[in-house]
Structure 1
Amino acid sequence: MLHTTDGVFIVTQTPFADNGAVDLDSIDTLVDFYVEHGADGFTVLGVSGEAGKLDQREALQVAERFIKRAGQRPVVVGVSNASLAQLSDLSARVMDLGATGVMIAPPSGIQTDEELHGYFAEVFRRNEGIPTVLQDFPFASKVAMSVPAILKLVETHPEIGLIKEEDLPCLNKISRLRQSSGRRVAILTGNNAMYLPLELGRGADGPMAGFSYPEMLSEVYRLYRAGRVDEADDVFDIYLPLLRYEAMGFWGVCARKEMMRRRGAIRSATMRTPGPKLSAEDVKELDRLSARVERRLAERRG
């Protein structure tokens, strides 16, 4: 059940071949790479997975391949769409494929709590009983959801079992959600894991984020859960310059894909058009930042 979720959910990239076609074989190597480095679950077809650049057939192919390769590990599929008909159709199809649940953010254009609650009433009329992650990501959705509005959605719709909290500032919002006396749901956090140790300290149940060194996410999470907070901070600090570099929107996703290619997780760093491409100067910066990470890891190993 989503409400008991904890651990590290990796927000996956969608691999494309050099010609822009979906690279299904690289999904297999990508999942294996994430599992090797501590992933407890996956979130596919999210914003950084370039979901908006896939047609419905491709989205199903990608979801199916991730679900199949993940085995017993849970997979959440992003289904946000301005079309409720397409949202509900994709939701039903991925659940039939074995998804653990779906992730939904409100569509841009919603301006009031009344509109927000009316929208989700219709969503769950169509998606009744489907386990759902409520994504609070106003940077992408352009919809601000207050804590009272989120709590009302949780109480009204039992389908919501998990909140992906990535509003900024995020820390006090996590605290206020955790202090609620209502039904408890899980909270996983995004924003490229830029604030992960602090978010765990505020009551988050883990990250739902992407990074080219997913072993950092899993190690920081496990150290923190073991009460070794200072050690978790020290590990986090090793990776922070590269993590920050990958946090620059779609450009950062492009940098992450290049790092994933270098680490053997995918065959190509291609992003679909419209999407950025790294310059020679960008590549030099990645060279320096990744070398810095590897040097500090070697020093840590002694």
Structure 2
Amino acid sequence: MLGVFGEASSLNASERAHVLRTVAEHSKLAIVAGITSIAAGPAIAEIENAQTTLGPRLRAVMVQVNSARSQDVIEHLQSIHASSDAPIVLQDYPKSSGITISTSQMITITKHCPFVCAVKSEAPPTAVAIARLTANTDLSVFGGLGGQGLLDELTAGSAGAMTGFSYPEALVACVSAWRRGDRDVARAELLPYMPLINFEQQPGIALAIRKELFRRRGIFNDAAVRAPAAEFPPELAELAAAHLEHVETEAVIR
């Protein structure tokens, strides 16, 4: 919870706690909370807020790479862990953080930080990064980016994807089939949704598109986004409807 799709960077501490409490009330799953701050002090404050809100339901926190220098990231994570004792999912997402770091540096960081329990790899080409991470660490590595590279990432050794998509059940079906060893089924589960996945991932308006599609599916009551995010463009209304009609038709046929 509290990732990019959750607009966590636009929420205050009270709102973040409300989101976490709501999730805890409606799910029995262990929870990983996203931490938006890239400075240690504010990140620790976010973690303390999540720990106070969730207690033992909080399994880990997801912290972004905050420097292009591996030693800086190591010291940053060690400071956070020393203060919070929380297991950390390390997120490499340059589009969000503005920070680019090599995969070899990511491997170095994980080896110096045994409390890192997983990696979320969102630096394209993701399949290359995931293949190198899984070959050189024992950690679970997850993809993201709306599921655009999910099949390639699974082939490269990913454990799945942590990402927003207006049909999350399609991602679940794909990963579940893959874990059963049914690669052809996994591909068949995802392929009908690929045009919609690409439609959602348009730069600058991806969040608004996804929220509008959730609204049209009857899952959200409101598709509003918080500033500075861009609103859903009305010019895409008919195209969005066509995409939804296509995937719903495919679901019925299958």
TM-score interval (norm. to shorter): over 0.9
In the alignment, structure 1 residue 46 sits paired with structure 2 residue 17 = no
- Is the 2:74–2:112 Cα contact (8 Å) retained in structure 1? no
Output the amino acid matched with 1:145: I
Residue 105 of structure 1 deviates from its aligned partner by: 0.2
Output the amino acid matched with 1:169: P
- Is the 1:101–1:131 Cα contact (8 Å) retained in structure 2? yes
Counterparts of residues 161-180 of structure 1 (less than 5 Å): 161-180=117-136
TM-score scaled by length of structure 2: 0.92
- Is the 1:80–1:106 Cα contact (8 Å) retained in structure 2? no
- 32, 42, 54: which one pairs with 1:76? 32
Residue 250 of structure 1 deviates from its aligned partner by: 4.7
- Is the 1:224–1:232 Cα contact (8 Å) retained in structure 2? yes
In structure 1, the residue matched to 2:223 is 269
Q: Distance in 1 between the 2:188 and 2:87 partners?
A: 36
In structure 1, the residue matched to 2:21 is 64
Residue 58 of structure 1 deviates from its aligned partner by: 1.2
Residue 114 of structure 1 deviates from its aligned partner by: 3.2
In structure 1, the residue matched to 2:69 is 112
Q: CA RMSD in A?
A: 1.6
- Is the 1:48–1:250 Cα contact (8 Å) retained in structure 2? no
- 165, 169, 176: which one pairs with 1:222? 176
* 3-state SS in 1 of match to 2:43: helix
In structure 2, the residue matched to 1:251 is 205
In structure 2, the residue matched to 1:291 is 245
Residue 216 of structure 1 deviates from its aligned partner by: 0.4
In the alignment, structure 1 residue 144 sits paired with structure 2 residue 103 = no
- Is the 1:95–1:101 Cα contact (8 Å) retained in structure 2? no
Summarize the Cα distance change of 1:177–1:279 in structure 2 as closer, same or farther, 3 Å threshold. Answer: closer
In structure 2, the residue matched to 1:212 is 166
- Is the 1:78–1:102 Cα contact (8 Å) retained in structure 2? yes
Q: Distance in 1 between the 2:118 and 2:25 partners?
A: 23
The worse-fitting range, judged by mean Cα deviation, of 275-284 and 194-203 is 275-284
* 3-state SS in 2 of match to 1:278: coil
- 202, 221, 236: which one pairs with 1:282? 236
Q: Distance in 2 between the 1:117 and 1:160 partners?
A: 10
Output the amino acid matched with 2:150: L
Identity, % of aligned pairs? 26
Q: Distance in 1 between the 2:162 and 2:68 partners?
A: 26
Q: Distance in 1 between the 2:77 and 2:198 partners?
A: 34
Output the amino acid matched with 2:122: E
Select the structure with the greater relative contact order (CA < 8 A; seq sep ≥ 6).
1
- Is the 2:13–2:49 Cα contact (8 Å) retained in structure 1? no
* 3-state SS in 2 of match to 1:221: helix
Output the amino acid matched with 1:119: H
- Is the 1:102–1:132 Cα contact (8 Å) retained in structure 2? yes
In structure 1, the residue matched to 2:42 is 86
User: How big is each residue's C-alpha offset from its partner over 1:77-118, in whole Å with a ceiling of 9 and x where there is no partner?
Assistant: 1113144222112212312313211100023xx332333333
Q: Structure 1, unaligned stretches of length 5 or more?
A: 1-43
In structure 2, the residue matched to 1:99 is 58
Q: Structure 2, unaligned stretches of length 5 or more?
A: none
- Is the 2:208–2:223 Cα contact (8 Å) retained in structure 1? yes
Residue 166 of structure 1 deviates from its aligned partner by: 1.1
User: How big is each residue's C-alpha offset from its partner over 1:3-45, in whole Å with a ceiling of 9 and x where there is no partner?
Assistant: xxxxxxxxxxxxxxxxxxxxxxxxxxxxxxxxxxxxxxxxx11
User: How big is each residue's C-alpha offset from its partner over 1:39-96, in whole Å with a ceiling of 9 and x where there is no partner?
Assistant: xxxxx111221111111221122122212322x2021111131442221122123123
Output the amino acid matched with 1:101: A
* 3-state SS in 2 of match to 1:117: helix
User: How big is each residue's C-alpha offset from its partner over 1:190-210, in whole Å with a ceiling of 9 and x where there is no partner?
Assistant: 011111111111111111111
- Is the 2:148–2:198 Cα contact (8 Å) retained in structure 1? yes
- Is the 2:34–2:62 Cα contact (8 Å) retained in structure 1? yes
Residue 279 of structure 1 deviates from its aligned partner by: 2.9
Q: Distance in 2 between the 1:178 and 1:53 partners?
A: 33
Structure 1 runs of 4+ off > 3 angstroms? none
- Is the 1:64–1:94 Cα contact (8 Å) retained in structure 2? no
The worse-fitting range, judged by mean Cα deviation, of 291-300 and 159-168 is 291-300
